[in-house]
Structure 1
């Protein structure tokens, strides 16, 4: 009865054979009767022809015994190919070279690389799983992935990828396909599968669509048992087989057949791999597929259960397969297939036809002109920086926002929000949390899978003090399983957070598992990343603060909570994006190699003990790195979160933005003098000198005054009304731990500035005197405390929380980089207090010097400058104002300076210039005495920050200048620009 039913099914399928006309043929078919194929066929014995249809498993992480087994199969059985599993690329390529050397016919090399070589090989790139790719709206990215995966596989010595998976995953409990599928929408699966396939095949790598006729609606893993699919033929034909039809039409080279029991297609109960009605009747005859038909692995329980090795391989050939993958007993398989030929179950001509097909594949992939795979630089050439950048692009494009109530993302007004983050499933601070901290101050908590109730209660109480709670829900596996291992207590805490009106959830797990998390749909913001790794965590954090945007669409339904196709668009490019150089049109190799070598040279020459470098282009941070040590004599490594003394970069980072803002408001006049805002200066030689000349360093002011020297008697002791060892109401100004300055001494400093003589000639001469006065001028105009004013109007809004004066008041000493060993004034090493003597006598708060910062936080202010006064949708300074202040003011007087800002010399002076030769005339910035450089070039939309403490151990160390490290690194940036 079963046989009769199967025959009826075959007849029905044959009647419908012409319903599906193939539009494109597999690319290798033209070689089936080529001269090369003919020559190979002439020299193959009947058994060797059978052996060409067999592919055995090879590993590059096993010992010599395994290699000898493979060599034996090649020499004695003359197998046609190898499928490689675990190992590494170099060893794999080397082994393949050895195997090819002993094979009379070139071997076809295959691998399962659904998400790239990282699926199988160590130290190679794992691209996003197909479910994440299913969320991407730009299929050209999927094509680009196909091209890149093909390049990497070919570089590793192989020719065939058992991918893409085009199963429509419409069963959330599917244990074997699941995240390996593009999703539940058959059209989306088809489109993504075609793009991926075409990318690979256009790069001359053969592909196979799998697992025919569709493995998506199973709840059994065919590695361990035979799944059964009980749908009617019409459903299978219209849904499960739909992507296969589309890929066949598009010219896919191969199809892999699954191990499935599908009564509607074959009532005999045999696995589909062994089913002639399915393979020959449907795939070949009805769908018209002429390409390579491959079995799923022949060692899987789904096909081996109840079937003997060799016999099962013979049955697979009889069913219509062309290539047997992972044959366990090669001699027996050849013998059984030979027996079948002798018995008339299959003809030698049919075997020969399949062998020709396989040889045609070998010719198409270039094996007719085989050359060994070169091993030199193989690892570097596989995992290139460009390949890594593609990975980031794919992850970014897959980000899916399912909730964004009240446009909670991107978070806008940082100054008004107290933020906490909780990483669930983490024992230490996560990459996600570190990335959140790039944007503003965030208090971080971690909660384990089964954290104690007492711990959870304590955290929840602390969270009540915050305005915004960001929850990162992490996976405990590199694969996003559809599981929820968090204890009920932990899930209850999650639920409490979800109910908060200002809560954002970044979900780093399988989307299906959202259905198992009670209340997650109540969160104001919900981001889905599909998997948990460094890149997904970085980009999810950037999405929350507007560094990147999102337009991914959910590829599967999540119970009744979310439907396939849902996904909200969120604006990106609001704040700095942290990415790769290629994303901003720069060459990683030039940038990384050039900066690293110059920094190493500076450290080797003891020009600096270490430093931080940050480079951004087009609003994208493309290089951010810490180098060396805090001090030559210690072992504390510089971190990107360490604070440096900015020295004179303070000039453009503190009072300058304040007075630009006040100028916009009509409260500050560039043509007015100091005496307009500080009447104390009315009866001085500086009265009426316009600020335009002062800020351009053309006001005839003296360069500096050694204020601290005026505190000394001839015998070296301090005058009675200057310093004391202990603080008091009269001596409140801290200069060091045992040195406190009189409260009125600032007035003496102002008096010294007022009485200082003017230079004879009105020409460019750098002076910091007026910058001691600017904070007081800001206070006089605004009626506010200077530090509060710049914090509220600039630093807090920017999220620049480490851009501050007197950092030792609020930061751990371990995170502050020391400066000079001061043995002539403070008589101790300087750390956590401003290096500049005049600034420290101002209580550390001056516009001449005094600011500290990390490179990252300084970059936010400088990026606002580069944007001509705007950042994160907030206008800080009017564009016209900014253009005026960053313009050279008195070029006719051989003065290259802007207003407060330094500018390139009017003529480039080689090594003695203040900028790189390629810096544009529109560029601007400043340098600092401690070894700082901040420079912006609007023509290239380029930001460059160099932070160091070159004054260690003494300011007499000028090697940084003689090496010209800062401007040489700046030139590297221009060299790296590819556009």
Structure 2
């Protein structure tokens, strides 16, 4: 691998760039139109010699000072001295824009506005886009990922220009080969000079192609120092040959590729300038002889901030500025004492230390840069929609893509990742240094049952002891370490107790560790092999994931990586220690679990989709078609829309509070139960050769022999054309005419004989389900064989499955489907496992149960079957239902596991009797042959799904154009089933149709 990398590096340097000895190209800002050149000449001619000097000075500006007096003083400083530019630091975009407009309005020559925005405007401003650190981007592999960095540069350029910013002091092209570097560190692309150069070039081109000036830094290389130039003057004690080979390499190549600017650092480098304590910014040998003459750089040379101790420790303000200009600087950034600086520079001119011709040429260079960025036709910043414009939704997608591409797996014992066989895992997540549930924990819980623990270095020992006892019950620990500081000076935010806690968790032999922080922090969790702590070394973790920083994207996507929704291809961009070296990284492939992302990833406009769905749902809420709902949509296996609306109830009059609906709430699925329990179970039986859809009912239900149902064919039964009655009101047969209960039906207290709990104070005789089955057996058949939707056969499927498998129906479903899928909330009788706060109530039953139905099945027949039936009774979240739905869309497999054969899925989901006008599949609903609203208008012939009486709906369309899954859960029957507005409004299928239209719109 080393040899191959060496060959590629040589080819890269030879082919991609010109040689170092060649004359560097003319920077883009020097290539102006005739009109722009006339503007430069005109402005230059209007300036006095003193004003030309002032064009070379940039002062600092802040928009977070919040004081009119500060703004006034800055305006006075700029206007009085007729300065050339302002470099902005902390603040907010609107405040900065207003201050910029004020400054520009009062400046005779438009100001060049600059910022340090290495990882986006958010490096300095609130309410703006934050991109990954360069070290994070350094982990991305392959030239294809460079296009992401190019897009980052292009997007940042557009945001900057919208904000009135013309120069970005970025990127850092320092090769960081010193782990203890206190100032560059995570700001570098890494320690491989070729990778640093290639990625920096992509960033520069993205910005410059979109009219943003760049300034590569920190010349001649700040990567190998243990001193922060903000606080002292670092010493780089390397030979010229070493500097040429490493530090200077990226600068040469990027200059030859057309970089517009170079920022010079405050460094003492004896090999380049032997003058004691002279910073490189003040060195003619470095700025003029090396950078301008030897390397042929014709662009703008910027100083690093002139207020830093690296320069002011030995040279006071004013004097330092003079020496900087004498050394060859074009622009002095962050001059502290402007009058002193101007006075000193003028004195140097008078003394003949600087020629007026040299200053004039530098002034012209600055004016040419101003013309190139459009200041020759200056217009004020438009404040309307500013924040929206500099926060494009496309940047969220870009951030996700870059973060995903950087994720690095450093250990994967026995290919543990991605996690499989979820039914065998008892998972706890332990967030270290986070008191609240983290984004990582929230995302992990989307995939299966995960119990959360949160600890910090301040957690009491008694709490830690209880946690240790609890963790013994789990066979897998997801340990997410949250380091809220990225800098080595703070030990990367790692406390001694934190490190000890991580080591202790690793020592269990059950830990998958994800470190959200600086990659060098790994060294603080790694002990030498000959120490006692080796047994608690992070190396002993079963798997290690490195996301490089603590962001919501990193947390979200790291969890998705662990569960196999996405893969990992990142490699370490630096060497941490002997165990973790540059280039390390284990490739991990995704296994097809649902990915959670944004609509733009599948080509859908999120704003359009959200507007459409919100509008339709809000009409339903306003017209009280349902108190609340959850909508979830996925395309190509990617969940791109999840939103909860409304409340559990309209008010508290029936005893349930109008709690806002949450994504994790459980709903009564009603008849969606049919395609979530009975239908998948039968498909599995078909695959195993235990069930024949062309067999007869009595073949699998012997008690139906000698009944009118004995010879009914299952294919007709499953398509609702077997002449079965639609339903039977079983509960009515339990009452006398006076309303009292018949003997051996109900009691108000539980006992051994009356053990089927229908409500808190109503218990059914334990053997009564046999009466229900007998009623089905004895029920008459419809006269005509035609489509009549019937619940009756689905009530019997639990008996079929138990007879074929020997297992209880619910146990069979959970062990065969739900637990392996991670759909752990899908369950009957949810009150056994979940608090009522998480369960959405349905109807107030004024006829049978005379109470609010809450946490128990709405359907009366299912209630009398102890809540467990094949036609109704299943509860769960939208997210867990979608896992089952996704398995259908993926033609019977999910997360690398085959649940149902593709052949059987195809058979059950096709039209069975279209020639008879029957639109049904086997168990599944399909689109009507002429639109009736039972399915989305755009649904294809291959699509299928089902609706439920309580206001539920799910739809799958495997057509390649759409490839979608959709779940809608509501409680439209609250407080009464007589409310059917959800159907008259056609809310469920109209929302699905909005999904189709969003896809079509994205294709156009």
Which of 916, 923, 930 does residue 950 from structure 2 map onto?
Answer: 930
Q: Is the 2:180–2:488 Cα contact (8 Å) retained in structure 1?
A: no
Tell me which residue corresponds to 1:9.
none
Tell me which residue corresponds to 2:175.
168
Tell me which residue corresponds to 1:35.
38
CA displacement, residues 717-757 of structure 1 (integer Å, 9 cap, x when unaligned): 11111111112221111111111111121111111111222
Matches within 5 A, 1:54-93: 54-62=57-65, 63-93=67-97
Matches within 5 A, 1:256-267: 256-267=263-274
Matched, 1:814 2:837: yes
Residue 192 of structure 1 and its aligned partner are, at CA, apart by 1.0
Q: TM (normalized to structure 1)?
A: 0.96
Tell me which residue corresponds to 2:692.
669
Residue 163 of structure 1 and its aligned partner are, at CA, apart by 0.4
Deviates further, 498-507 or 421-430: 498-507
Which of 401, 407, 412 does residue 399 from structure 1 map onto?
Answer: 407
CA displacement, residues 751-792 of structure 1 (integer Å, 9 cap, x when unaligned): 111122222222211111110001110111111111111111
Matches within 5 A, 1:322-361: 322-361=330-369
- Three-state SS of the structure 2 residue aligned to 1:951 is coil
- Three-state SS of the structure 1 residue aligned to 2:113 is strand
Q: TM (normalized to structure 2)?
A: 0.94
Cα distance in 2 between the residues matched to 1:944 and 1:478: 41
- Three-state SS of the structure 2 residue aligned to 1:294 is strand
Query: Aligned pair in 2 of structure 1 residues 481, 694: CA closer, same or farther (>3 Å)?
Result: farther
Which of 559, 567, 583 does residue 577 from structure 2 map onto?
Answer: 559
Query: Aligned pair in 2 of structure 1 residues 588, 559: CA closer, same or farther (>3 Å)?
Result: same
Tell me which residue corresponds to 1:10.
none
Query: Aligned pair in 2 of structure 1 residues 54, 558: CA closer, same or farther (>3 Å)?
Result: same
Cα distance in 2 between the residues matched to 1:493 and 1:338: 61
Matched, 1:207 2:210: no
- Three-state SS of the structure 2 residue aligned to 1:446 is strand
CA displacement, residues 347-403 of structure 1 (integer Å, 9 cap, x when unaligned): 111111111111111111111122222211111111121111111111111101000
Residue 184 of structure 1 and its aligned partner are, at CA, apart by 1.2
Query: Aligned pair in 2 of structure 1 residues 98, 401: CA closer, same or farther (>3 Å)?
Result: same
CA displacement, residues 416-458 of structure 1 (integer Å, 9 cap, x when unaligned): 1111121111112222111111111112212212434443333
Residue 487 of structure 1 and its aligned partner are, at CA, apart by 5.3
Q: Is the 1:460–1:493 Cα contact (8 Å) retained in structure 2?
A: no
Cα distance in 1 between the residues matched to 2:358 and 2:499: 60
Matched, 1:952 2:974: yes
Cα distance in 1 between the residues matched to 2:831 and 2:785: 40
CA displacement, residues 8-40 of structure 1 (integer Å, 9 cap, x when unaligned): xxxxxxxxx995324543111123982121111
Residue 74 of structure 1 and its aligned partner are, at CA, apart by 3.2
Structure 2 residue ranges without an equivalent (≥5): 1-17, 527-536, 652-656
Cα distance in 1 between the residues matched to 2:919 and 2:754: 42
- Three-state SS of the structure 2 residue aligned to 1:702 is coil
Cα distance in 1 between the residues matched to 2:498 and 2:736: 68
Residue 41 of structure 1 and its aligned partner are, at CA, apart by 1.0
CA displacement, residues 466-511 of structure 1 (integer Å, 9 cap, x when unaligned): 2111111111337687616555555344223323444211111211
Which of 582, 589, 600 does residue 600 from structure 2 map onto?
Answer: 582
Q: Is the 1:87–1:121 Cα contact (8 Å) retained in structure 2?
A: yes
Q: Is the 1:927–1:934 Cα contact (8 Å) retained in structure 2?
A: yes
Tell me which residue corresponds to 1:630.
648
CA displacement, residues 149-200 of structure 1 (integer Å, 9 cap, x when unaligned): 1111111111110100111111111111111111111111111111111111
Q: Is the 2:20–2:253 Cα contact (8 Å) retained in structure 1?
A: no
Q: Is the 1:19–1:286 Cα contact (8 Å) retained in structure 2?
A: no
Which of 668, 681, 688 does residue 645 from structure 1 map onto?
Answer: 668
Cα distance in 1 between the residues matched to 2:390 and 2:489: 28
Q: Is the 1:179–1:480 Cα contact (8 Å) retained in structure 2?
A: no
Query: Aligned pair in 2 of structure 1 residues 47, 649: CA closer, same or farther (>3 Å)?
Result: same
Deviates further, 776-785 or 454-463: 454-463
Structure 1 residue ranges without an equivalent (≥5): 1-16
Q: Is the 1:614–1:945 Cα contact (8 Å) retained in structure 2?
A: yes
Cα distance in 2 between the residues matched to 1:554 and 1:569: 12
Which of 611, 616, 623 does residue 629 from structure 2 map onto?
Answer: 611
Report how many residues are paired: 960
- Three-state SS of the structure 2 residue aligned to 1:654 is helix
Matches within 5 A, 1:771-850: 771-850=794-873
Cα distance in 2 between the residues matched to 1:535 and 1:134: 17
Matched, 1:709 2:727: no
Query: Aligned pair in 2 of structure 1 residues 300, 492: CA closer, same or farther (>3 Å)?
Result: closer
Cα distance in 2 between the residues matched to 1:387 and 1:145: 8
Cα distance in 2 between the residues matched to 1:424 and 1:48: 57
Q: Is the 1:724–1:739 Cα contact (8 Å) retained in structure 2?
A: yes
Cα distance in 2 between the residues matched to 1:353 and 1:488: 56
Tell me which residue corresponds to 2:541.
523
Tell me which residue corresponds to 2:11.
none
Cα distance in 2 between the residues matched to 1:481 and 1:706: 74
